[in-house]
A and B are shown apart, each in its own frame.
Chain A
Amino acid sequence: MILAALDFQTFSDAIGLGAIYALMAVGIGLVFGVLRLVNFAYGQLIMAGAYTLAYTSSWPTWASIATCFAVVVALSLTMDLVVFRPLRGQSPAVMLVTTFAIAFLLQSVALIVDIRDGTLGQVTAALTFLNEPVKIFGGDVRKITLVSIAIAVGALVLLALLLAKTTIGLHTRAAAQDFRTARLLGVRANRVIAFAVVLSGLLAATVALMMTVTLPFVTPDFALRDTIVVLVGVVVGGIDRLWTATLGGFTIGFVSGVLNGLLPTDKTVYLPSAVFTLVIIVLLLRPAGLFNWGRHAAGERV
């Protein structure tokens, strides 16, 4: 087996990365479900969270984390109010390009705020102790990997319960299926959208928290690259349903991690080529999504 050739460290790192990407995929997938909007600016929510953590490094850890959640959720709601709401029902191209502009705007603002002291980048310090390794099955695993996996599993279970057992969860699922019919049946559009936006903000803050442990140096393009990769993963997995999108996010993180371990050292610079070649192959074979079984591809009409 291929996996046998991998050492335990690479494998666990790949799962850890997959877990973080899965959470981002949920955040992106939730908003797409109710708004049909691919939010490119999602990474900037994470970036804002990371900066908040950096600027509040001297505070008690709980206060710093709480502020991070507050800032990211507030920013997420503002984004919905100012940008998503006026764009509701526009063509996908317009919505996507507008979120490019928003991403670009937030990144420039972060740059202006950041370079006031003449240097680029800030350091987060609160949770770095999670970088220490622990021994499991004879291999070294960093604590943050275990924490990431635990948090991701916990958050996903919580989310599944929320969507399955509560009224607002039911409304959100109905809206994701068919927004117009759901509204006719009495689902309040603004509440459902606000619910999805808040949840996706909470997830972004969680991701910011976990990412700053491994990458404590925060710059304006923090999480930008990861967001792009997750967006790709979400579409490859199948953006129409939340669980296929989540699996897509996990898969692209996991596969990147594994490929990184498999490629010979002098060839790891070609990792993006390897990953994106796989992406093209999967898209050609399963255009409606890798995990999207039993549904006909889009384009069919009655």
Chain B
Amino acid sequence: MTRRLDPLVQLGGPVLLVVAVGLLSTTVSAANEVYFLNALVSVAIVVAIYVFVGNSGVLSFGQIAFVAVGAFAAGVMTVPLESKKGVLTTLFPLLRDHSIGNVPSLLLAAGLGGLFAFVVGLPLMRLSGLAAGIATFAVLEITHNVLQQWTKIGPGATTLSLVPESTGPLQGTLGAIVVIAIAFGYQRSRLGRKLRATREDPQAASGVGIGVHLQRLWAFTLSGALAGFAGALLVHQLGSITTEQVYLELTFLTLAMLVIGGLTSLWGAVVGALAVSGLDSFLSQAEQGVHVLGFKLDLPSGAHLAVLAAIMALVLILRPSGITGGRELRLPRAWRRS
């Protein structure tokens, strides 16, 4: 009986957590709402990375490239026409003279992210280990370089602004849930299980007829589509974006979230994203001075990043398998027996 409940708990736990964050965001002041929206978008990005890295066991530094593509595609295409002709004059006419709505822009970002990931993954998924990590990093570098310099497809090195801020509590929560649900569906599917088998033992998996390259390619493509979608959520949350915001720092931070939560489980991805972005928000508040349990905590300015990094390193040193140990959420044993 309880066995049948397992999938429900594994999906329900992360979804409930995200819904709780979404509901909380509606109760706080507008100035604090941004922290909760950040957390929701982080969940979407980290889960998108998890779909490939967690299931395949191959480290990729390239998923933020797909976030960047999604963010700029959705951003450029949703700037209202009347202002677009004034500020984004160098674009290709096709991009300059058309605008699309919020939902189409999310789908466009997901499609482009998936397509880009598929094309890139076709040759790169033959690699594994450090070589795969470095090759995917090269993809991030090239994407960043082109987005920053080529003013026919985007704003170049300047800030892309005037993007409608449609990622509020509702879109943030729903977006994160969609990503979680797709990731969950994938990891329980035939394809997902095959890929997880290659993670545990590539030789044995190919011995029973699983094509390692093909399975990794599917996951990479799906991860790219979800990352593009998450990028669209991000740009619609921020309202303006530069190429630097979807580059190295975001790559390191989101990977750290995944590893701190627990690399090999969806629950770990969600918990890691929420824990780290929660801590980050709390510490940046502490720089302005906050009251905790009657004590006044007041960090010197600039110190919150140092404290955040120190805590992240400490968690990894003390608990290398992550907060969740890389396991999915399960009911406590006492409940399971009944």
Contact residues of A with B, CB < 8 Å?
38, 83, 86-87, 90-94, 96-98, 100-102, 104-105, 108-109, 111-112, 115, 228, 231-232, 235-236, 239, 269-270, 272-273, 276-277, 279-280, 283-284, 287-288, 298-299, 301
Q: Are B313 and A83 in contact (CB under 8 A)?
A: yes
Q: Are B203 and A301 in contact (CB under 8 A)?
A: yes
Apart from the given pairs A104-B312, A269-B149, A284-B126, 12 other A-B contacts in the complex at a CB distance below 8 Å: A92-B59, A96-B59, A97-B255, A97-B256, A111-B302, A112-B303, A232-B137, A235-B133, A270-B146, A272-B145, A276-B138, A283-B135
Residue in A83, A100, A115 whose CB lies within 8 Å of B255? A100
The complex places the Cα of A32 from the Cα of B121 at a distance, in Å, of 28
Return chain B residues, CB-CB under 8 Å to A270: 145-146, 149
Residue in B124, B203, B263, B313 whose CB lies within 8 Å of A280? B124
Return chain A residues, CB-CB under 8 Å to B142: 272-273, 276-277
B59, B137, B141, B305, most chain A CB atoms within 10 A: B141
Q: Give min CB distance, B30 to chain A, whole Å.
A: 29
Closest B residue to A114 by beta carbon equals: B302
Q: Give min CB distance, B257 to chain A, whole Å.
A: 10
Q: Give min CB distance, B69 to chain A, whole Å.
A: 15
Q: Are A98 and B316 in contact (CB under 8 A)?
A: yes
Closest A residue to B317 by beta carbon equals: A86
Q: Give min CB distance, A47 to chain B, whole Å.
A: 14
Return chain B residues, CB-CB under 8 Å to A90: 320
Q: Give min CB distance, A31 to chain B, whole Å.
A: 14
B-side interface residues, number (CB < 8 Å): 45
Return chain B residues, CB-CB under 8 Å to A112: 300, 302-303, 306
The complex places the Cα of A269 from the Cα of B141 at a distance, in Å, of 13
Q: Are B309 and A283 in contact (CB under 8 A)?
A: no
Q: Are B259 and A280 in contact (CB under 8 A)?
A: no
The complex places the Cα of A90 from the Cα of B131 at a distance, in Å, of 19
Contact A284/B130 with A98-B316, A105-B309, A232-B137 known, Cβ cut-off 8 Å: no
**Contact string, B298-338, partner A, CB cutoff 8 A, digits 1/0?**
00101101101110110011101100000000000000000
Return chain B residues, CB-CB under 8 Å to A105: 306, 309-310, 313
Q: Does B90 contact A (CB under 8 A)?
A: no
Return chain B residues, CB-CB under 8 Å to A102: 309, 313
Q: Give min CB distance, A52 to chain B, whole Å.
A: 19
Return chain B residues, CB-CB under 8 Å to A272: 141-142, 144-145
Contact A108/B305 with A83-B313, A96-B59, A97-B256 known, Cβ cut-off 8 Å: yes
Return chain B residues, CB-CB under 8 Å to A93: 59, 259, 263
Return chain B residues, CB-CB under 8 Å to A231: 134
The complex places the Cα of A102 from the Cα of B255 at a distance, in Å, of 14
Q: Are B302 and A97 in contact (CB under 8 A)?
A: no
Q: Are B305 and A104 in contact (CB under 8 A)?
A: yes
